[in-house]
Structure 1
Amino acid sequence: MIRVLFVCLGNICRSPMAEAVFRHQVKELHVEDRIEADSAGTGDWHLCKPPHEGTRKLLDEYGISYEGIRARQVLLDDYSNFDYIVCMDSSNERDVRAVFGSKSDGNAKVFKFMDLLPDHESDDVPDPYYTGNFEQVYELIDQGCRNLLARIMEAHHA
């Protein structure tokens, strides 16, 4: 099983959106028996809460399920439990590497989401909790998840 973890700050906007979109794309390709996704936050403010209302509304509009997604915090065990750890911004990546310690230094399994979208100028997925622009985030996440899925399919012959 190939496991992907998406990480943002509070695990209520960007990373649960990415988890839901990625799961949807995996299901469309009928590879859910080989690839799974989860999400987590670097902070603990929203533990056990469902995705933000703006994320839920947008996912509903696109017919994408977020069933079972609840906020949780990144754990040390996540490093060994996931093959890909995709951070929504530079700050999240720095915080995740701090949780994982020296074993994650320079390790390519931990990377920024925007690395999946090399044609975009920004290093970070904007946080719609502050910007309110969930649609912009969805567009980035949709394309980035497609690129990640293609990368995984190629690398693992999934």
Structure 2
Amino acid sequence: MVLLPWFSAMSEMKHVLFVCTGNTCRSPMAEGLFRKAVEQRSDYTVSSAGVAASKGTRCSGETSDFLNKRKITMSDFSSRPVSDSILSEATHVFAMTRGHLEALEARFPKHSDKFYLVREFAGVPNNAYEIDVPDPIGMGRKAYEEVGAVLDTAIPKIIAYIDETTA
């Protein structure tokens, strides 16, 4: 079978989804950082959602501040709850915590082959607690910077993994 150029490009498209709790802190931060990392590439799209998110909330002020310092804007961002249709569009889904991963697996088992933990790509943690990307909400600017540092380490490795394992 011969693939038309437009079909071939569609089949190679990678859609990365980041998932946290409320889709206002960690996952939008990851979405913004990932989008910046792949901005010169046409084979990636990225979005985010939350396992307990309400629809239509802006990302937290601290997340916006963190991203703005890196010249990343999320002015059009709007939170959304994870759903079957969102997961159907994704090729790779990265959860911030084991709890998020377990919630995804319980609610959407047919998509479980797409699920990963972000922290798996950020180096070996010192203890089991550190396998989760901690929730920075209410913890101040330093907590957001620490989440950003984890994501800065993980994102290039996530991109490399996806590039190596997809055709």
Q: How many percent identity over aligned positions?
A: 29
User: 4+ residue stretches of structure 1 with deviation over 4 A?
Assistant: none
Q: How far apart are 1:142 and its partner, in Å?
A: 1.4
Tell me if 1:74 matches 2:86: no
CA distance in 2, matches of 1:13, 1:148: 19
Q: Which residue of 2 aligns with 1:37?
A: 46
Query: Which among 72, 92, 113 is matched to residue 100 of structure 2?
Result: 92
Q: Which runs of 5+ in 1 are unaligned?
A: none
CA distance in 1, matches of 2:75, 2:15: 18
User: How many correspondences in the alignment?
Assistant: 150
1:75/1:99 contact within 8 Å kept: no
Q: Which residue of 1 aligns with 2:153?
A: 143
Which of structures 1 and 2 has the bigger CA Rg? 2
2:122/2:151 contact within 8 Å kept: no
1:3/1:37 contact within 8 Å kept: yes
CA distance in 1, matches of 2:88, 2:111: 10
CA distance in 2, matches of 1:148, 1:69: 22
CA distance in 2, matches of 1:153, 1:119: 21
Instruction: Give TM-score, length-normalised by structure 2.
Output: 0.83
Aligned to 2:48, the other structure's residue is in SS state strand
Aligned to 1:129, the other structure's residue is in SS state coil
Query: Which among 122, 134, 148 is matched to residue 126 of structure 1?
Result: 134
CA distance in 2, matches of 1:53, 1:130: 11
Instruction: Give TM-score, length-normalised by structure 1.
Output: 0.88
| Greater relative CO (CA pairs within 8 A, separation 6+) | 1
Q: Which runs of 5+ in 2 are unaligned?
A: 1-12
Q: Which residue of 2 aligns with 1:114?
A: 119
Tell me if 1:15 matches 2:27: yes
Deviations 1:105-156 (A, max 9, x none): 5x2x201111112323311001001433100000101111111111122223
Deviations 1:28-55 (A, max 9, x none): xx11x2101000001134x211110000
2:21/2:51 contact within 8 Å kept: yes
CA distance in 2, matches of 1:68, 1:58: 16
